[in-house]
Structure 1
Amino acid sequence: MPLALLALAIGAFGIGTTEFVIMGLLPQVAEDFGISVPTAGLLTTGYALGVVVGAPLLAVLGTRIPRKRMLMLLMGLFVAGNLVTALAPTFGLVLTGRIIASLAHGAFFGIGAIVAADLVAPSRKAGAIALMFTGLTVANVVGVPLGTLVGQQIGWRVTFLLVAALGVIGLAGIAALVPGTPAADRAPGRTAGSVRRELAAFRNVQVVLAMLMTVLGFGGVFAAVTYIAPMMTGAAGYAEGSVTWLLVLFGLGMVAGNLVGGRYADRRLMPMLFVTLGSLAAVLAVFSFTAHDKVLAAITIPLIGALGFATVPPLQKRVLDQTGDAPTLASAVNIGAFNLGNALAAWLGGAVIAAGLGVTAPNWVGAAMAAAALALAVLSAALERRSSAVAGATAETPAGTPADRPAASPRVPVRT
């Protein structure tokens, strides 16, 4: 394993930790600034919206800067954002720091995946990309629970200082271990014309549908998980310190779901989406009831993580499959779509709590979003079948030949 992959994984670990750790620290942040938990939930919304904006903009910028240098700039931006978050004297500046850190998210994973693949032989490219993304997955099993524990016992600001330190380690690792890639940086795909081709991919209705599925499907997970701390302490009756190991259960579910989704996405992608999105909608609806019982809540939480992250590989692959030879920008935008769904879900979840519908009401929001994603998946598959049928009929009927009249026999070429 090239050590450069470890540097990329450390960067992914830091990004994953800062994205998700805020879920367990919302009560502490709210108390520190004298605001409501739904208002503190804007820290999740702001981060997600920053990814939505930053992913395409910085992905385009990354076509004009050597990839190693771009990765270093992105990690520097990540460190700066977490330092602002940790040291901010007002809630507004905390939110600003979260947005600054989020701008690096989408582009780092998009460009990092390309660099990871370039580090190994062609037969090992997928494994190298998966190894980099392992940092994001492990963050939810190790980084997020530990960060939550530190934030609850010492202070939430210390958590973000430690995350900034992780970013420094990742930056140093990239600088020292990731080789320059001048050949890749001069590749034909990194041109202004390529950007225009990438933008043209968004005229494909299947690309748009896939991204809408991403927004609604994974957003359903965040409607519930954003408010897991107040939900578990207020409805299930857990002590505040128990949120840490509940997040571990959620992270373990994520790891399992990601592995299963990645295994079956290449085999039967759309059936996989039907099953995962339908099951996710059902489990989120059930969580509205099981969230009131400690044992049942502890069983349901990892199921949400597993089903939610089982949708990630097929949704990402769906976008790549529909963009042909121009997948780079669409791939980065789809990472932003995941976070747009997170932002929408966090806002809607906070809105239903603020409306007095109860601390478990966000689960119904998540169930509705996942069900809507399932409906779009069914529509997408139906359109694809119809398109295939039309294409097949066109191929069987030569142009200008009535469909109800036999076509002329093909000419037999004369050999000379």
Structure 2
Amino acid sequence: MPLALYLLALAVFAMGTSEFMLAGLVPEIAAGLDVSVGSAGLLTSAFAAGMILGAPVMAAFARPWPARSMLLGCLMIFTMCHVIAALTPSFAVLFATRLVAAMANAGFLAVALRTATRLVAPDRKGRALAILLSGTTIAIVAGVPAGSLLGTALGWRATFWAVAVLCLPAAVGIATGIRPAGRTSLGEPDHEPSLRAELAQLRTPHVLIAMLLGALVNGGTFAAFTYLAPVVTATAGLDPVWVPVALMLFGTGSFAGIVVAGRLSDAHPRLVLGIASPVLFAGWLILALCAARPVLLLSLIIVQGVLAFAVGGTLIARVLYAASAAPTMGGSYATAALNLGAAAGPAIGALALAGHDELAPVWVAAVLTGTATLMVLPSLRLIAPRAHRVAPTG
């Protein structure tokens, strides 16, 4: 795999740390800026909204620009937003920086997905995607707990400074490791289709179904992951010190799942989706029913991390394969599917929590994943055609 892929993954790690780090910093931010905890929690919503909006908008804007220029521009905007966030005394400014940073993040990821698949052979998109998204899973394993510890020790502003500093070596790596212009792909077409032609891909069933399935699985994953802490402490009765342990176990599983997706999603997508999807659904059911047993709960957390990211990573790879006729916008379709799930899952989980016990979001994960399982099995012919042919665009 090209070194440039790992440089892109480093930037994704920094951005992933920023996306998830607020989970442990909301009370400190609320106290520091004299706002309610609920208001501070809106910072997460702002980031999710920016990611969903930013993916197609930034990808369309990036079409005339060389990939390296767009990647560096998005990364620099993202970095400056964190510098401003670390300095501002205003919650409104902080909110605005999260929205702008998320749009830059979405633009970066959309272009990075496009660039990553052009750096490898056409039949290795899943492998390239796995390396790129490993930055996100490593952020869950290491970056988020480290950010939480840093924020606890030095204040929440220190975490924003740390993310900004982490972006600098990634920027240098991209500037030196990505070719500024010309062909970047082993199979890139000489002439890219028009924006209208690429947007027309959103009307094709194979693209829409792959995106919907990816959003459902990712929604279930983040519905459960976001509200894992009360399950660990209230349902299982463990000490709060076990919460970061549970999150790290899930992150470790997610990294393993991305590796599995990278190995199998190109050559054997039907195997991953046909077997792992039903097992993922069953796993959420078992976790909801057996969460009061600490050892079983912690074991299931790591297993669900593996399964969720193996299935989710494979589905996102299928979006890229399905949208191969949209070479500049396909990455934004995959990014939008990822983040639609990441935004909707926790929101539905929050609604389910109202008036119910702490296991409600896990049941939400089971419902969303079960729906995806019912859809994925009859859809395999369309989203994962044999011999890895992308379905006709119609």
Bin for the TM-score computed over the shorter chain:
0.7 to 0.9
* Matched-pair contact (CA < 8 Å) for 1:17–1:136: yes
Cα shift at 1:195: 1.7
* Inter-partner Cα distance in structure 2 for 1:188 and 1:321: 15
Match of 1:79 in 2: 79
Match of 2:70 in 1: 70
Q: Normalised by the size of structure 2, how large is the TM-score?
A: 0.84
* Matched-pair contact (CA < 8 Å) for 1:254–1:309: yes
* Matched-pair contact (CA < 8 Å) for 2:318–2:383: no
* Inter-partner Cα distance in structure 2 for 1:376 and 1:172: 43
Match of 2:375 in 1: 376
Identity %: 36
* Inter-partner Cα distance in structure 2 for 1:41 and 1:375: 34
Cα shift at 1:271: 4.5
- Larger C-alpha radius of gyration, 1 or 2? 1
- Please tell me the residue identity of whatever aligns with 1:360: L
Q: Report how many aligned residue pairs link the two structures.
A: 382
* Inter-partner Cα distance in structure 2 for 1:378 and 1:225: 25
For structure 2, which runs of at least 5 residues remain unmatched after alignment?
Answer: 385-394
Deviates more, 1:142-151 or 1:288-297: 288-297
Match of 2:392 in 1: none
Match of 1:107 in 2: 107
Label 1:342 to 1:144 Cα distance change in 2 as closer, same or farther (>3 A). same
- Kindly report the root-mean-square deviation, in angstroms, between the aligned alpha carbons of the 2 structures: 3.2
* Inter-partner Cα distance in structure 2 for 1:175 and 1:50: 25
For the pair 1:236 / 2:236, whether they are aligned, the reply is yes
* Inter-partner Cα distance in structure 1 for 2:382 and 2:258: 27
SS at match of 1:104: helix
* Inter-partner Cα distance in structure 1 for 2:73 and 2:131: 22
Match of 1:222 in 2: 222
For structure 1, which runs of at least 5 residues remain unmatched after alignment?
Answer: 386-416
Match of 1:361 in 2: 360
* Inter-partner Cα distance in structure 2 for 1:142 and 1:60: 33
* Inter-partner Cα distance in structure 1 for 2:357 and 2:225: 15
Cα shift at 1:11: 0.9
* Inter-partner Cα distance in structure 1 for 2:155 and 2:128: 36
* Matched-pair contact (CA < 8 Å) for 1:257–1:309: yes
Cα shift at 1:367: 1.1
SS at match of 2:259: helix
Give deviations 1:43-85, integer Å, cap 9, x for gaps: 3333222111111111111111122111111101211333344
Label 1:189 to 1:113 Cα distance change in 2 as closer, same or farther (>3 A). farther
* Inter-partner Cα distance in structure 2 for 1:92 and 1:114: 33
Give deviations 1:187-217, integer Å, cap 9, x for gaps: 86675x4322211211211211111111111
* Matched-pair contact (CA < 8 Å) for 1:45–1:342: no
* Inter-partner Cα distance in structure 1 for 2:136 and 2:257: 14
Match of 1:52 in 2: 52
* Inter-partner Cα distance in structure 2 for 1:122 and 1:306: 26
* Matched-pair contact (CA < 8 Å) for 2:218–2:338: yes
Q: Normalised by the size of structure 1, how large is the TM-score?
A: 0.80
Match of 2:195 in 1: 195
* Inter-partner Cα distance in structure 2 for 1:268 and 1:122: 15
Cα shift at 1:24: 3.7
SS at match of 1:311: helix
Match of 2:152 in 1: 152
